[in-house]
Amino acid sequence: MLELTEPQLSHMMGQYLWPLIRIAAFIMAVPIYGSQTLPARFRLAISAPLAVVIQPMLPPLPGIEMVSIAGFITTIKEVVIGAALGFIFQILMQLFVVGGQIIAMNMGLGFASMNDPANGIAVTVLSQFFVTIAVLLFLAMNGHLVLLELIARSFQVWPIGQAAVAGDFWRELAGLGSWMFAGALVMALPIVTAILVVNMAFGVMSRSAPQMNIFAVGFPVTLVFGMFIIWFGLTNFMPQFELRSNQIIQFVENLLGI
């Protein structure tokens, strides 16, 4: 009769549970898969088959018992690594949220906000518009498959139980904040500059014709002109998104040594 001891059973559980923990943390944090519009059960249902598929390709796992201090520390490491990798791609999407916020504030649309179903927070309509386009482009470029490939390769660079993420990783991760704001500013700068020129023109008009109600005329004209500039600038959105997404993927590949 086949008998399993408690250490053997714990080791067998760890063969699948620890990969599942890292993958589940990644899925919960990454865009698209981690959207709040998807139920948590569905996201876990995605993680479980991925763990089963990836497990045979993993390096040999250490003989750490699940129910132990070492097992608890290993679990925390897997959660942190998975969530950190997912957060990197979340920064890519937040770039377009910030860019939309900057444009909306200069157009006078800062008050026009809606609930973002992906994150459960209130954002401007323009931000949601840009994020929707970014998600569709990301899917069209097979970005969702690239995400799965990168999380699978992370097990080769940071094996389970041996993963000691260096301080440089966290320093570079923090540096992505400045990258996000710089990218958002570059995206919004042409539109903001055009709106600034319009506002300067209205300033000259108000000085030459003081009887004109600048507030009654300026707001609709600025709004219509801003919408026209956005429509005209959408032709440059695809190259901008491709550049930013390639930069963030290259950043992760450099971390993984690919």
Where does the chain show beta strands of DSSP type E? 113-116, 121-124
Q: Please check whether residue 90 is in contact with residue 31, taking contact to mean a CB–CB distance below 8 angstroms.
A: yes
For residues 175 and 23, give the distance between their C-alpha atoms in angstroms, rounded to a whole number.
Answer: 24
pLDDT in tens, 156-212: 888 887 756 666 777 888 888 889 999 899 888 888 888 888 888 877 777 777 776
pLDDT in tens, 89-110: 889 988 998 888 888 888 777 6
For residues 34 and 126, give the distance between their C-alpha atoms in angstroms, rounded to a whole number.
Answer: 22
Confidence (pLDDT) at 97: 87
Hey, where are the domains in the chain? Answer: 6-256
Q: Is the dihedral of CA 186, 232, 89, 154 positive or negative?
A: negative
DSSP β-bridge partners for residue 15? none
For residues 114 and 62, give the distance between their C-alpha atoms in angstroms, rounded to a whole number.
Answer: 48
Phi, psi of 160 (to 5 degrees): -65, 135
